Amino acid sequence: MNAHTDGAKKGMIVSPIENGTVIDHLPPGRAVRIARMLGLTEGAVVIIGQNLKSTKYGRKDLIKVENRFLTDEECSRIALFAPNATVNIIRDSELVEKRKVSIPDVVEGIAVCSNANCITNKEPVPTRMVTVSRSPVTIACHYCGYEVKAEDLRLRG
Amino acid sequence: MGFMNRDIISIRDFTREDLDRVFGVARRLESGGYDRAILHGKRVSLLFYEPSTRTRLSFQAAAQSLGADTVWFAGVEGTSVMKGETLKDTIETVANYVDAIVIRHPYDGAARWAAEITSRRAERGERKIPVINGGDGRNEHPTQTMLDLYTIAQSQGRIDGLTIAMVGDLKYGRTVHSLAYALGMYGCRIRLVAPDQLQMPPHVLSYLSSRGVECTLHTSIEEVIGEVDILYMTRIQKERFPDENEYNRVRGLYRVTRKALQAAKPTMRLMHPLPRVDEISVDADEDPRSCYFKQAGNGVPIRAALLAMVLGGIS
């Protein structure tokens, strides 16, 4: 199977990669945030496509990252912001694995509680967010119970 | 789940069966069961980072009535918190001195964090020191809710199916957050009376909704006073407001007087976690339906029961 996604095939808006990961079907406007959350902006060759045409969703974002293969935990994190995302693993220009992402039960360390009075925002306490609803994706702070929709979740840093 | 070494952090961590066990022990203590041998040789710390009268003194009275010693601070003046010590370091330190920690803290989630610190200590081979939440910021006050439920059951003979109104500062009031969570377990009908800007936070409402609790929002006491079995008043808490102008817009909005109680059922009970400012007039104290001082008194048997249970004095 050819590794290129539909966006790349139809006019090569986003150039193909030989080895790495293509994160596809991201909601428009989320790619930069997700790339930052995964730490993809540090060193690796990353190609970000925004507002690309999608037959399935109308518009979508897409991320290609060279020589980086995401872990299951990283895929779970993507699901918080893009529950319909697919993660394609490319080796020697071939698609060797296609994963659907699934929403994690717990997210540790990466998010910021939206409650300014939460202990995690006042003292050096690692955050822990718990998924309390999957549709819409809603996350609650393990410490103070404050809930936010996943799209409103703020990231550390 | 047993109570030995158990942390008391959120009322949501407890089942009805758990609460029934606490109430059963509290009743036994009240009917002549206080015995200084129960916690003889135990030491309880009371770490009160915020002002308190009832919670701190009733915990202290409870501990002493069972023979435990207490070590405490009330306010951070004079402690190393003033030098910038973190909560983690304070808990790691105090856990060496005592058998249980009761904490009141201005930040939401502080009690849960303190409990995790003593649990991690236990993973390192130290004794687990149970942590009891005496109120964390705007979040929860589970032992207040236990004594509230105990008072409701005493005064009405039951909790199931009652109609209960909570009035005042529902946004920042930790007592009403915990109480609302708990009432969901008893099939109560909840009436929430507050101005829009002080209504119950969305995460509490969504919790109640997800459990099918009948819950309605109101802006005046008159809309509900004739219907309810419990009228639970709360103080508008000046200290929780980020903006004094916002406080000034809502202060004094709700006030129950003896005359206003004429519209209530003869069996209704008026409750308040106290302290009050002006939301219940002094003349209402004489109404037989007012039970907030009895409610405050119930802090001792409930907190004694909890201390005895988490420290293994009563199984």
**Cβ neighbours of B201 in A, within 8 Å:** 146
CA distance A106 to chain B (A): 16
Asked if A123 lies within 8 A of B88 by C-beta distance, the reply is yes
Asked if A120 lies within 8 A of B109 by C-beta distance, the reply is yes
Predicted confidence at residue B311, as pLDDT, reads: 98
Predicted confidence at residue A1, as pLDDT, reads: 41
- HEC assignment per residue over chain A: CECCCHHHHCCCCCCCCCCEEEEEEECCCCHHHHHHHCCCCCCCCEEEEEEEEECCCEEEEEEEEECCCCCHHHHHHHHHHCCCCEEEEEECCEEEEEEECCCCCEEECCEECCCCCEHHHHCCCCCEEEEEEECCEEEEECCCCCEEEHHHCEECC
CA distance A147 to chain B (A): 6
Q: Does B137 touch chain A (CB under 8 A)?
A: yes
Residue A11 reports pLDDT greater than 70: no
Q: Does B133 touch chain A (CB under 8 A)?
A: no
- Amino acid found at B163: T
Which of A138, A143, A147 is nearest residue B109 as measured by Cβ atoms? Answer: A143
Among chain A residues, the shortest Cα distance to B110 is held by A119
The residue annotated as part of the active site, out of B27, B54, B112, B121, is B54
Among chain B residues, the shortest Cα distance to A144 is held by B109
Strands (DSSP E) along B158-262, which ranges? Answer: 163-167, 189-193, 215-218, 230-233
The complex scores an ipTM of 0.92
Q: Is B86 a catalytic residue?
A: no
Nearest-5° Cα angle at B146, B134 to B177:
70
Q: Is B105 a catalytic residue?
A: no
A132, A144, A148, A149, best to mutate vs chain B, most B CBs in 10 Å: A144
Predicted confidence at residue A44, as pLDDT, reads: 83
Q: How many CB atoms lie within 10 A of CB B252?
A: 10
Nearest-5° Cα angle at B130, B126 to B131:
125
The per-residue pLDDT for range A23-82, each reduced to its tens digit, is: 999 999 999 989 988 988 777 899 999 999 988 889 999 999 999 999 888 898 899 889
Residue A157 reports pLDDT greater than 70: no
B91, B105, B136, B139, best to mutate vs chain A, most A CBs in 10 Å: B139
Asked if A146 lies within 8 A of B203 by C-beta distance, the reply is yes
Q: Is B54 a catalytic residue?
A: yes
Residue A4 reports pLDDT greater than 50: no
Residue tagged 């370091």 (tokens): B89
Residues of A with CB under 8 A from a CB of B: 113, 115, 117-120, 122-125, 138, 140-147
pTM equals 0.90
Cβ distance A113 to A139 under 8 Å? no
Which of A123, A140, A144 is nearest residue B86 as measured by Cβ atoms? Answer: A123
Among chain B residues, the shortest Cα distance to A124 is held by B86
Predicted confidence at residue B184, as pLDDT, reads: 92
The residue annotated as part of the active site, out of B56, B104, B171, B235, is B104
d(CA B263, CA B219): 17
Distances in whole angstroms, Cα of residue B140 to Cα of each of A144, B63, B279, B301: 9, 22, 21, 20
Average pLDDT of chain A, as a whole number: 87
Predicted confidence at residue B84, as pLDDT, reads: 95
Structure tokens belonging to residue B287: 């109404």
d(CA A53, CA B193): 49
**Cβ neighbours of A115 in B, within 8 Å:** 108
Q: Which residues 144-173 on chain B approach chain A with CB closer than 8 angstroms? A: none
Helix axes B174-183, B202-210, angle to 10 degrees: 10
**Cβ neighbours of B137 in A, within 8 Å:** 117, 144
The per-residue pLDDT for range A98-144, each reduced to its tens digit, is: 999 999 999 998 889 999 999 999 999 999 999 998 888 899 999 99
What is the mean pLDDT of each successive set of 10 residues along chain B, which is 315 residues long? 95 97 97 95 98 97 98 94 96 98 98 98 97 96 98 98 97 95 96 95 91 96 98 91 85 94 98 96 97 98 98 88
Predicted confidence at residue B254, as pLDDT, reads: 95
Residue A7 reports pLDDT greater than 60: no
Among chain B residues, the shortest Cα distance to A143 is held by B109
Asked if A147 lies within 8 A of B202 by C-beta distance, the reply is yes
Q: Is B289 a catalytic residue?
A: no
Q: Is B175 a catalytic residue?
A: no
